[in-house]
């Protein structure tokens, strides 16, 4: 009988890392190495599980774990950094190269590399504007992806581009980390009374962390093979449900909260530009680019159904219910320990 595969999960205390770890513990016999900085944030997975090994440390110093990394068969790399340009470069670019160098290339079967759908266009091609105008997070993700496309391991790398990710509850309760998108539901509903009078052309995808875990779990537990979308040998998947419009979303939010949705004012692009000028809002080149785009949709998108599985959260209503958003009355108080994505 073959030995269970050894899978490394970086960013293991984040919403995606914990969801993938939980999925693998339930649906596979893999041995898991969880690389994280703060073990106390591991709330949805029992760190005492016999198939877990914790690697507690900073991603920027992989050589301290050379012995463990040399025995890894597969990797899912979700760790990331933003805010500080120097740290973003060190974590999002340099640390990825250093990590790959520590792996045994003769043994390694697959690397799932998490990026962001913000750096690819409708047809899943890399956006030139991401490197030109993006934030330090966007730029470093685009630069790292270009480097990986030329890497010797590119035929074993799967580029994963999640769209907007929901996870956890708005009150911070429960075992699952709360994503920044779920945290943003609170101010969204607090301003829904005003937003329902506005109309804005735009569209987007979302996906729940549990469905991301289902997709990644499938990829990590099946033989690595060429996918339908490839760059010079590298597989690529944008993860998301079918697109929603902004106006349709407001309608559904109002219906969920049993609020009226009266006729509204159309926010044309010229009006948005005027508001920016009147209120002297400072916009970066990337802000201006995204404001002009407005339709953040991709084709094709990958859902659990793409691999014969069922989405647990296929629509906004199931997402809102799982996030603890009541259909009537006040929103629950926010928690004091909201756990971040990474």
pLDDT tens figures, 110-149? 999 999 999 999 999 999 999 999 999 999 999 999 999 9
Given a cut of 50, whether residue 96 has pLDDT beyond it is yes
Contact 67/102 with Cβ under 8 angstroms?
no
DSSP string, 284-322: -HHHHHHHHH-EE--SS-B-GGGGT---S--SHHHHHHH
Dihedral sign of CA atoms 113, 115, 120, 124 in order: positive
Tokens of 277: 């000028």
pLDDT over threshold 50, residue 56: yes
Centroid of chain to Cα 260: 33
pTM, entire model: 0.94
- Residues 14-28: what's their mean pLDDT? 97
pLDDT digits (tens, 9 = 90+) for 178-224: 999 999 999 999 999 999 999 999 999 999 999 999 999 999 999 99
d(Cα 295, Cα 58) in Å, to the nearest integer?
36
CA 255 – CA 250 distance, rounded (Å)? 9
> Does the pLDDT value for residue 341 go beyond 50?
no
Q: What is the mean pLDDT of the chain?
A: 93
Report the C-alpha gap between 342 and 333 in whole angstroms: 23
Share of the chain above pLDDT 70, in %: 97
The pLDDT, as a whole number, for residue 98 is 96
- The whole-number average pLDDT for the span 37-41 is 94
- pLDDT classification of 2: cutoffs 50, 70, 90: low
Domains and CATH numbers, the chain: 6-165+207-239 (3.40.50.720)
Least trusted range by pLDDT, from 185-189, 271-275, 315-319:
271-275
């Amino acid at each position: 009988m073959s030995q269970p595969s050894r899978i490394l999960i970086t960013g293991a205390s984040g919403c995606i890392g914990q969801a993938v770890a939980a999925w693998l513990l339930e649906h596979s016999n893999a041995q898991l190495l969880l690389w994280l900085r703060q073990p106390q944030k591991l709330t949805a997975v029992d760190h005492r599980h016999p198939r877990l090994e914790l690697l507690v440390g900073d991603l920027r110093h992989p050589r301290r774990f050379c012995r463990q990394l040399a025995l890894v068969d597969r990797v899912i790399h979700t760790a990331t950094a933003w805010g500080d340009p120097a740290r973003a470069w060190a974590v999002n670019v340099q640390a990825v190269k250093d990590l790959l160098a520590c792996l045994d290339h003769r043994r390694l079967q697959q690397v799932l590399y998490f990026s962001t759908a913000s750096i690819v266009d409708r047809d899943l091609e890399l956006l030139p504007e991401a490197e030109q105008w993006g934030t330090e997070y966007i730029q470093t993700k685009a630069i790292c992806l270009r480097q990986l496309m030329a890497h010797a391991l590119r035929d074993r790398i799967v580029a994963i581009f999640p769209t907007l990710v929901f996870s956890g509850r708005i009150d911070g309760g429960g075992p699952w980390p709360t994503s920044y998108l779920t945290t943003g539901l609170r101010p969204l509903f607090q301003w829904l009374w005003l937003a329902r009078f506005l109309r804005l052309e735009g569209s987007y995808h979302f996906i729940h962390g549990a469905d991301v875990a289902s997709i990644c779990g499938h990829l990590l537990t099946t033989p690595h093979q060429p996918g339908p979308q490839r760059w010079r040998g590298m597989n690529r998947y944008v993860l998301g449900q079918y697109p929603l419009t902004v106006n349709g979303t407001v309608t559904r939010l109002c219906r969920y909260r049993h609020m009226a949705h009266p006729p509204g004012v159309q926010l044309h692009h010229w009006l948005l530009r005027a508001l920016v000028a009147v209120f002297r809002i400072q916009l970066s080149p990337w802000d201006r680019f995204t404001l002009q785009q407005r339709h953040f949709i991709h084709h094709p998108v990958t859902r659990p159904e793409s691999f014969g599985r069922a989405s647990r959260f296929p629509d906004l209503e199931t997402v809102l219910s799982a996030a603890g958003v009541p259909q009537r009355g006040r929103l629950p108080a926010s928690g004091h320990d909201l756990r971040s994505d990474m």
